[in-house]
Chain A
Amino acid sequence: MPIEVRNLSHTYMPGSPFSSVAIHNLSLTIADGEFIGILGHTGSGKTTFVQHLNGLLMPTEGDVIVNGVNIKEKGAALRELRKQVGLVFQYPEYQLFEETVLKDIAFGPKNIGCSKEEIDERVQWACEQVGIDPETTGKASPFELSGGQMRRVAIAGVLAMRPSVLILDEPTAGLDPGGKRSILQMIKRLHADNSITVIMVSHNMDEIATLATRLIVMSHGELVMTGTPREVFRQADELKSIGLGVPQGAELVHRLIAEGYDLPDDLYTLEEVCDAILKLKGVGGDV
């Protein structure tokens, strides 16, 4: 499911006094199996952008081509598109509505017309993926669960559609550190085990640094940087000037370089920074 975005612009309420440009002339391609991290300050257009990828929003100008099909084309099967591109919204737990967790997860597959066996099979699979026990938690009401568990259920609801592209809009927002870690691990596993493309919106540099294979940085509706985490995080000053930051490891390295230490400027994970500092001090590379 390669995704191609050509000169995408989106304006909310065009032609009214309230019109505002959310995305301006954005072009990029996303290949199969990538793990993309989208970074940007609040209001940079990240959420608006990802809503184009499954046809929830239509471009004001430009094209979004998913698997060779332009989403603007008349008769472009939006349902098919939404089956292929799963979108998990920010705070997805607020979309739960069914009596039981299992029924809620079954909502998506039911909508795309799966048979009963297929629905059961998908629900089981989705539960397994997010670590929900279908026998106990599955029979509970989604409104009885904790915030972290509700979020898992909501993600399972999207996974049950069996998308080949999974988009997550700030999946860890508002969770405690433990909840964050387990959600991130789950996403990492999903990407590794199922060879799906993952697009994750976040403004937490540290969590995105360890997961993404490529980063897309947006500012004021425009694409300002793209590249591997290594390429992006070495441009610490640019990132800071648009209201973002760098992972703690990169921050440390950049400060040490500013102090006159001789370190490579493209390190960002804590492990490699540790190694480099120890090497500088003449201690062995092992930590």
Chain B
Amino acid sequence: MFKDITLGQYMPGNTVVHRLDPRAKILLTIVYIAMVFTVSSPVFYIIPAAYVYISARLSGISFRQLLKSVKPLRFLLILTFVLNIFFSGGATILVQWKFIKISQEGLLLAIHFSLRLIFLVLGTSIITLTTSPVALSDGIEILLTPLKKVRFPVHELAMMMTIALRFIPTLIEETDKIMKAQKARGADFESGNLIARAKAMTPLLVPLFVSAFRRAGELAMAMEARCYHGGEGRTRLRVLRYTGEDGWAFALSFGMLLLLIACNIWL
């Protein structure tokens, strides 16, 4: 049952977007987020929309895959929409029924905030769809390097992220195995009320924790056996280099951000 879960969303490929330097992609995502927050009126979402459309086309990601990333957010979206539409007040009343009032301003605000959420998720999921988790944590590590000056453990943090990501599939497999073993002993994980189900988790969680700690110990030992001693003087297998493609991506992104700012000011 757990075998159907794919880790993260990464869809391997070899498109321009896939090839971009992970550092560039992280920075571009920040530019994109800035873009979404600068939008001053719902109409201008056309620019982030165009941006998402272009990147999706370039990376070969289907519209359906993108929508899938918004799906978990549907309740939050509905909540945002409802709260904004009813509680933001405003002068121009469109509908009034007893104490419920819907104003034009409220409606606009509701649309505005819902679109903001949707576009935030759409744009940021492009990076997770096209970048492998390892490349991402590599990128984060390098981008955060300046923080080493203030003794922030950048390398350790990135290593922890990489290891955590690496072990998710392993632990899922392990969970599946232990679950089956306990089921073979008549354990029931599927029926009963909430308390009964929570209790039924003990035979699953205890062995899982035991094995996670055992694995952690073994991994630490194996890393030490290969003389791992933190980030000091460590070189990389894959050296990140900016290419012309990254330059074009930056130009496009900043261009669109400027266009948006111009729209906000003059339209």
Contact = CB atoms under 8 A, between A and B. Distances in A.
A87 B182 CA distance: 10
B181 interface: yes
A111 B180 contact: no
The SS class assigned to the B binding surface is: helix
Contacts of A54: 184
A26 B94 CA distance: 69
Interface stretch (A93-101, A116-124, A200-208, A254-262): A93-101
A81 B180 CA distance: 14
Contact of B203 (A87, A92, A107, A158): A107
Given A79-B186, A82-B183, 5 more contacts: A79-B188, A82-B185, A111-B185, A111-B188, A158-B185
B186 A161 contact: yes
Interface residues of A, number: 25
A97 B207 contact: yes
Nearest to A167: B184
B178 interface: yes
Contact of A161 (B185, B188, B210): B185
B207 A89 contact: no
B82 interface: no
Given A107-B203, A143-B210, A95 B178 contact: yes
A95 B182 contact: yes
B3 interface: yes
A194 B180 CA distance: 26
Interface in B176-220: 177-178, 180-188, 202-203, 206-207, 210-211
A214 interface: no
Given A89-B177, A89-B181, A94 B207 contact: yes
6 contacts: A82-B184, A94-B210, A95-B181, A95-B203, A97-B202, A97-B203
A107 B184 contact: no
B4 interface: yes
Given A12-B3, A51-B180, A89-B180, A112 B186 contact: yes
Most chain B CB within a 10 A radius of its CB, from A12, A79, A94, A107: A94
Given A94-B207, A96-B207, A107-B203, A158 B187 contact: no
A247 interface: no
A143 B207 CA distance: 10
A252 B177 CA distance: 39
B187 A89 contact: no
Interface in A2-21: 12-13, 16
A83 interface: yes
A94 B206 CA distance: 10
